[in-house]
Amino acid sequence: MKFYTKTHQHYCGIDLHTKKMYVCILNQEGEVLYHRNLKTDRDEFLRAVAPYRDDLVVAVECMFTWYWIADLCHDEGIAFVLGHALYMRAIHGGKAKNDKIDSHKIAALLKGGLIPQSYVYPKQMRATRDLMRRRNHFMRKRAELFAHIQNTGSQYNLPPLGRIAKKNGRDNLVELFPAGCAQKNIELDLALIDAYDPLLDTLERYIVKTANGHDPVALALLKTVPGIGKVLSLIILYEIENLERFPRVQELVSYARLVKCARESNGKKSGTSGKKIGNAHLKWAFSEAAVLFLKGNEPAQRYREKLASKHGKGKSLTILAHKLARAVYYMLKNKVAFDQEEFLRSA
């Protein structure tokens, strides 16, 4: 957890919503200089903070509406802090809660150096990252349709349906099911799959074209890892964004949810915590990369068998994902391609 500890003359805490935002401004002594509910509008915000622009810092809680205020502060030369929502909830929880109280607490935490920071993702790559996440959402919906077809086949005790993910593997698929509503169910799934396929293909080509303009060297390095192809390299590139935000490799693997955080008090351990702290998209990408890394890779499969004999089959994949994340960190840091022999030897 990183806190914002810089000192300023004025501290602005905003409880931000879609249509309204409660703005609280404190001075160095903690006195309330301004405390009002405003429309969520850039001009109203600038008018409100105009008398206090001298050495002003603005803080909001990380929620889906923070993009515009972060970009506005950047353009206006105002210091901006994005608070980590889960950590802030734990720090400033209280008996009473409303927008006025919350905005004052955010300003007070900011003044006291107790705002846990989230990363303010740069504007130039943010929209492409969001488009990549949207692509992954559509792909999961498509996968759910295939799973529904397979489950329906099991309901009717049909023989294995084969590789229905391939278009030619879906020929005459509907006729395998009982006539009537069962066939209509499968027809709906196939119609949606046929709608998703061209959309996803067009979307991926657009994202690849955009991503190559951002960091082609990093993309090329990521693709040298067996199992990391076009899609996974894009996800890893855009979710990491800037390796300098992770001074140590431990911080990257923690951000990717690939480590367990121990809970300990008075020398006694009481399990783990923080499972939801970190980046779920990076967690999925490295977990998927670990599975694909093993595909047709005999040396890697032998290494995984050693891990499985010691830690179990499921945990062995998590360990492999963790080690791949560490390898990716040093690849991007040192600008070197992946060396499987060195990776397996050091692992």
> Shortest CA distance to 155 belongs to which of 187, 184, 178, 175?
178
3-state secondary structure of 147: helix
Is residue 203 within 8 Å of 135, Cβ to Cβ?
yes
Mean pLDDT calculated for residue range 6-20? 95
- C-alpha distance from residue 159 to each of 66, 164, 181 (Å): 51, 13, 19
- C-alpha distance from residue 34 to each of 26, 50, 115, 250 (Å): 7, 11, 20, 42
Q: Which pair of tokens denotes residue 134?
A: 């949207």
Q: Which pair of tokens denotes residue 324?
A: 């791949």
Cα(231)–Cα(323) distance, integer angstroms: 20
Give the CB-side neighbour count of residue 30, counting CA atoms within 13 A: 5
Rg of the chain (C-alpha set): 25
| pLDDT band, residue 194 (cuts 50/70/90) | very high
> Shortest CA distance to 93 belongs to which of 66, 275, 22, 101?
101
Question: What CATH architecture does domain 3-116 belong to?
Answer: 2-Layer Sandwich (3.30)
**Residue 79 phi, psi (nearest 5):** -60, 135
Predicted local confidence at residue 347, as pLDDT: 66
> Shortest CA distance to 230 belongs to which of 252, 194, 206?
206
**Domain residues of the chain, as ranges?**
3-116, 125-214, 222-346
pLDDT reading at 274 higher than 70:
no
Is residue 20 within 8 Å of 39, Cβ to Cβ?
yes
More confident residue, 211 or 59: 59
In this structure, are strands 3-4 and 115-116 parallel, antiparallel, or unpaired? antiparallel
Mean pLDDT (the chain) is: 91
> Shortest CA distance to 326 belongs to which of 223, 235, 250, 242?
250
> Shortest CA distance to 52 belongs to which of 37, 74, 35, 75?
35
Cα(44)–Cα(38) distance, integer angstroms: 7
pLDDT reading at 275 higher than 80:
no
Cα(43)–Cα(23) distance, integer angstroms: 14
Predicted local confidence at residue 100, as pLDDT: 92
Predicted confidence (pLDDT) per residue in 217-240, tens digit: 899 999 999 999 989 999 999 999
Predicted local confidence at residue 97, as pLDDT: 82
